């Protein structure tokens, strides 16, 4: 019997094999991800039209679901079109994309406005697929009381105005873990810091393994240990709100200088954005409380003078 005839042109078989391998690899990437159905990922064609009016500019985007038009995911980018396209090409987000029926976007003047608006909208709307910023966390911090550090919580003190706060943590456990790591790095005594029980005059366990300079057993005096503690925690000090009231951060769009926003902030809490100073003054109100995410976003641009700041 004659052998089977291969009509494929030279190289065709290799290309088909490579294509098959790419298809298999694509299925493999889907396996183990949320919503895996055992089939290859398909580009969400039903969302193709939603890309038509997405600009290559800063802003916030919202993926809306079919049930009640509720937001599934809220994100931000300095290039909305590029960022949303990356979602549509991401295999691991197939489940979210199948549930999405429309994509909304809100332009902002720049990255600061996009970060602030995204954080605010996630807290207000609680989208299903956002995890990191979804809940308002009960923050805690270390406060220096005399020469001792104590854990304090944002529901007890106004972190925006309280001096001598160090670090921002989602829980007491996280605060203690951070201080333990800092103490080991700088050879500070766990016993003196109150992280573990110690017997006066006797070396602590960390001293025996050369992670403590000896404040527990008299090899280092208390003042020297305290000065080293101050130096160690200086880099994580929480800055007090540096203004007597609300301010507006002026941000100008790098793509269009006519597009300007004034972001209203009081006590590190974002209160909204406006196109003019007159409209910004209307947004000023008593801040709801210390916002750790707002602090992280605003601290550098405000304290380092990266944008114009106007008192309201």
Tokens of 265: 């902030």
Average pLDDT over residues 257-273: 97
Q: Which residue reads 């269009």 in tokens?
A: 256
Q: Which residue reads 């098959």 in tokens?
A: 20
Contacts (Cβ under 8 Å, ≥6 apart) of 178: 167, 169, 236
Domain ranges of the chain: 30-125, 140-236, 247-311
- Pick from 39-53, 165-179, 183-197, 219-233: least confident: 39-53
Taking the CA atoms of residue 209, residue 213, residue 217 and residue 222 in that order, the dihedral angle to the nearest 10 degrees is -150
- Confidence band, pLDDT 50/70/90 cuts, at residue 40: low
Q: What percentage of the chain exceeds 90 in pLDDT?
A: 67
- Pick from 24-33, 35-44, 183-192, 224-233: least confident: 24-33
- Confidence band, pLDDT 50/70/90 cuts, at residue 41: low
H helices of the chain, in order, are 12-30, 80-88, 94-99, 111-125, 172-186, 190-193, 205-208, 222-233, 277-283, 292-303
Average pLDDT over residues 11-32: 41
Query: Residue 78, SS3?
Result: coil
Q: Please state whether the predicted TM-score (pTM) of the whole model is above 0.85.
A: no
Q: What is 30-125's CATH topology?
A: GIY-YIG endonuclease (3.40.1440)
Residue 266 burial class via C-beta count within 10 angstroms: exposed 0-12, middle 13-18, buried 19 and up: buried
Strand order across the beta sheet in which 165-169 lies: 148-153, 140-145, 165-169
Long-range contacts (CB closer than 8 Å, 24 or more residues apart) made by 124-129: 125/70, 125/71, 125/74, 127/62, 127/63, 127/70, 127/71, 127/72, 127/73, 127/74, 128/65, 128/70, 128/71, 128/72, 128/73, 129/63, 129/72, 129/73, 129/96
Average pLDDT over residues 184-206: 89
What's residue 296's pLDDT? 95
What's residue 133's pLDDT? 61
User: Phi and psi of 298, rounded to 5°?
Assistant: -95, -20
């Amino acid at each position: 019997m004659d052998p089977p005839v291969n009509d494929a042109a030279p190289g065709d078989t290799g290309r088909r094999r490579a294509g098959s391998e790419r298809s298999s690899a694509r299925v493999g990437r889907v396996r183990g991800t949320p919503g895996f159905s055992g089939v290859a990922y398909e580009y969400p064609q039903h969302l193709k039209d939603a890309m038509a009016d997405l600009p290559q500019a800063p802003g916030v985007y919202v993926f809306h679901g079919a049930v009640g038009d509720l937001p599934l995911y809220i994100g931000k980018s300095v290039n909305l079109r590029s960022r949303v396209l990356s979602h549509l090409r991401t295999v691991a987000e197939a489940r979210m994309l199948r549930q999405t029926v429309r994509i909304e976007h809100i332009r902002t003047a720049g990255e600061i406005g996009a970060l602030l608006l995204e954080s605010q909208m996630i807290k207000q709307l609680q989208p299903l697929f956002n995890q990191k910023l979804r809940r308002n966390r009960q923050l805690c911090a270390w406060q220096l009381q005399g020469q001792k550090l104590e854990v304090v919580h944002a529901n007890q003190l106004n972190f925006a105005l309280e001096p001598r706060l160090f670090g921002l943590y989602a829980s007491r456990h996280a605060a203690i873990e951070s201080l333990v790591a800092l103490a080991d790095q700088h050879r500070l005594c766990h016993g003196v810091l109150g992280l573990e029980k110690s017997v006066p005059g006797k070396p602590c366990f960390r001293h025996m393994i050369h992670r403590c300079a000896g404040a527990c057993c008299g090899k280092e005096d208390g003042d020297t240990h305290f000065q080293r503690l101050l130096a160690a925690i200086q880099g994580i000090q929480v800055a007090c709100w540096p203004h007597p009231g609300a301010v507006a951060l002026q941000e100008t769009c790098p793509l269009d200088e006519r597009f300007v926003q004034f972001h209203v902030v009081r006590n590190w809490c974002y209160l909204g954005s406006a196109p003019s100073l007159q409209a910004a003054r209307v947004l000023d109100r008593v801040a709801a409380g210390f916002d750790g995410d707002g602090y992280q976003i605003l601290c550098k641009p405000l304290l380092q003078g990266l944008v114009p700041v106007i008192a309201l």
